Structure 1
Amino acid sequence: MSQPIAWRAARGFGTAEDPNAPGELLFRPREGEKFLVLSTGRVANLDGDGVLVETMSQFDNDNNFNPDMPNALPAPMSPLIGSNAGQGGTPFAGCDGVNDCSDSIEPNWTLGNGDPNDLLFGSFTVEVPPGVDGFLFDAVFFSSEYPDFVGGTYNDMFIGWSTSEAYTGNVTFFAGQPFTVTSLAEAMVNAGYVDDAPELAGTGFESHGTTGWVTIQAQVVPGETFTFAFAMMDMGDSSKATVTVVDHWRWDCKGCVPLEVDPLCGTEGHPKCCGLCVDPLDDPMCGTEGHPACCTAG
């Protein structure tokens, strides 16, 4: 549900070249020919090659004409805590099957005064194939609220939500943090691109920040039918655009667990960590102290 001006199916974003693939854009599809660009502001028209190049600062980009009311998340998403049978306190465990079992949305929702604006969202329902234990997708989070509004009421948010029997709630994390400007500020500095980084050229986020590509992982149960949903919104205002690029949704046959469930996840004899990896091309120091884990082929 969105006005057309708030999203694009693009063949690339920005003008920065990938240093590891000369002649290719840094922000290009991870699979196929196009990826999905979602914005809390207004998205420019694509160029003749189908690439999105923003010439206007996203800091000055506002109102995408999507609804500012009601102040709620569309079903099946919920900002309320859902772990420990809805009592909270045990993130990712004891899911009540309705609310957010990660308990990660509520504090960010509260920080933004429970006031989502310029909301766009979507969902699909799918049956999990036999032998499949999870799913993955790739995303990039760009924020023009970085660095001015880190820790403040303006705390734009992207949510990816699963209704699996294995887990219900937000699955979109990087370095253990949900996709908001306040939560991801440190990740942008350590593993993404900020300030005058040339990688931001042509995105409209010059002098602001992005995470770079992140692979999200989450659990499912083989044979179940579950819904995946997503939502993107301004929080506390209707300006200072945030963009999330989403691509390459696929099944995972190896499974994963959240760091909170198994602190040794990702090490020998333990399953992969959910939502805690980056592509080595984006962060050559991934896997070392102070950097997130490296994504490996699933």
Structure 2
Amino acid sequence: MMGLERRMRALGLLAIASLCACEIHGIVGANLDGAGDGGGGGDHGVLGDEQSPSSTTGGEDGVGGGTGGGDGDTTAADPFLFDVSPGDGAEVCLAPYPTSCDHVDEDPWHALGVTCAGGARVDTSILAHSDAVYVHTGPLGTSGAYTPREGQRMVIVSTGKARDVPRSRTELGCFDETCPSSALAAGSAMSSLPAPMDVRAVDPSLTCTDDPELVGTGDCSNTLADEWTTGQVVYDYAELRLSAKVPEHADALVYEFAFFSAEYPSRVDQAQGPSSNDMFVAWLESEAWTGNVSFDGQGNPISINGVFLDYLDADSDRCTEHPCVAPELDGFAMDGHAGTRWLETVAPVVPGEEIEIIFAIFDIGDPELDSAVVLDGVHWGCTDLPPVTAPTG
């Protein structure tokens, strides 16, 4: 499935997984002050209800266009620009150090630090219901735990109405433990994930960290197969996808996210277990790794069953303290439910190669009870390790 050269390059990157990771540099957006409108984005950068993919093009200045509210040409062949520019780097890492552009408009790619002027070229697309993606300005909730990681805006992708996530339970007019819950596209069940995602484990006992020869044969992390086989039907699928050429001095893709779910507490106390389970998957196609790159140290994908679910805002069998409260979730739709803190994923890539990353969220088993992921700060960096996800900030 891969040529010898691809395998040797992957082997060279992963064979030193036991060494320390080098310091990460080269952010795709510094926290620059820029004019903002103080409000969220609306239905920018999304597709219609048909759930068909599209690829769009940035304007001549590298800022306009996109799937959001710019004036760019949506039919031209040239891809977007990735937000990178030359930087001074550190001695051990010379990944590009770019600037932020999410103050320009409410385009979701700008909010992520992607498609700004002056850097490597990328292709982008969004496959989602028109209500599933929302650009939010400023903090999420009232606790201050969730502020943009770069610039002023961050992107919310949800299995329900993403615009509802920043709203309080009072504003939503719902107060029971199943709120928010919305089925965006009736009859949208999928029996498999979009290509190139392949949930099969690459080996019963080994990952691509153990054997780089397994790269390209399935999910290198082996984190998706068990969850998939218990549900096997996907609802409310939404993805953001980008392809880019890795800069010469970068060997990592880095991004930050937080995951929330209204499946807590009701689903964690039910015998059905993961057969009805919302998941966030970040699928990387690289010479160094093919598969999910966001998972915890116990090999769990990002869901209510993972160990990263630190903030539990309702009593359940899982909560060790009673009453179980999480003030971090105050003031937005996940009050009374559960969420992670900000997490950072660092995933290995190969300098000069073409990669693809897919940020996807979906329901498994049924279309009920909404979950959401907040994304920000996509940038290049450096690493000597296999994919690692850890709390940050």
Asked whether 1:257 is paired with 2:370, we answer: no
Report the residue type matching 2:219 in the other structure. Answer: D
Residue 388 of structure 2: SS of its match in structure 1? coil
Q: State the shift of 1:275 in Å.
A: 2.3
Q: Distance in 1 between matches of 2:215 and 2:251?
A: 20
Report the residue type matching 1:155 in the other structure. Answer: N
Gaps of 5+ in 1: 19-25, 47-51, 259-273, 282-298
1:126 corresponds to: 244
Q: Distance in 2 between matches of 1:152 and 1:72?
A: 17
1:211 corresponds to: 340
Asked whether 1:181 is paired with 2:304, we answer: yes
1:89 corresponds to: 205
- Pairs within 5 Å for 1:139-288: 139-150=257-268, 151-176=273-298, 177-182=300-305, 184=306, 186-189=307-310, 192-195=311-314, 196-253=325-382, 255-258=383-386, 274-279=387-392, 281=393
Report the residue type matching 1:91 in the other structure. Answer: T
Q: 1:124 to 1:67 in 2, by over 3 A?
A: farther
Q: State the shift of 1:13 in Å.
A: 5.2
User: Bigger radius of gyration, 1 or 2?
Assistant: 2
- Count residues in correspondence: 243
Q: State the shift of 1:67 in Å.
A: 6.0
Between the aligned residues of both structures, percent identity stands at 29
Q: Which has the higher strand share?
A: 1
1:39 corresponds to: 158
Residue 44 of structure 1: SS of its match in structure 2? helix
- TM-score, length of structure 1 as denominator length: 0.75
Pairwise CA RMSD of aligned residues?
A: 2.1
- TM-score, length of structure 2 as denominator length: 0.58
Report the residue type matching 1:166 in the other structure. Answer: A
Q: Distance in 2 between matches of 1:108 and 1:241?
A: 18
Q: Distance in 2 between matches of 1:6 and 1:66?
A: 14
Q: 1:67 to 1:212 in 2, by over 3 A?
A: farther
Q: 1:167 to 1:143 in 2, by over 3 A?
A: same
Q: State the shift of 1:37 in Å.
A: 0.2
Q: 1:133 to 1:8 in 2, by over 3 A?
A: same
Q: State the shift of 1:66 in Å.
A: 7.2
Report the residue type matching 1:99 in the other structure. Answer: G
Q: Which moved more, 1:196-205 or 1:228-237?
A: 196-205
Report the residue type matching 1:278 in the other structure. Answer: P
Residue 276 of structure 1: SS of its match in structure 2? strand
Q: Deviations over 1:222-258 (max 9, x none)?
A: 11011111211011110110110011011112x1424
